[in-house]
Amino acid sequence: MSNTDKYLRDIARELKGIRKELQKRNETVIIDANLDSVRSAVLADKEKSKYNELLF
């Protein structure tokens, strides 16, 4: 397994944990990935909050 594969596996594992935590908080997770970078954004539940929070 290449270093890139290991890195991507670690990112996927971290995102899965983040998604589970946010589901506990009743929020929606949207993951937008492209070839140049990986961006993750969290859209807070609109009934609870009026803002979008970037994870990283």
Residue-wise pLDDT tens digits, 4-53:
888 888 888 888 888 888 777 766 656 655 544 444 444 444 445 544 55
| pLDDT the model gives residue 35 | 45
State how far the Cα of 39 lies from the Cα of 32, in Å rounded to an integer.
Answer: 6
Identify the band that residue 2 occupies on the pLDDT scale cut at 50, 70 and 90. confident
| Other Cβ atoms within 10 Å of 34 Cβ, number | 7
State how far the Cα of 35 lies from the Cα of 41, in Å rounded to an integer.
Answer: 17
| pLDDT the model gives residue 56 | 47
| pLDDT the model gives residue 29 | 57
| pLDDT the model gives residue 53 | 52
| pLDDT the model gives residue 27 | 60
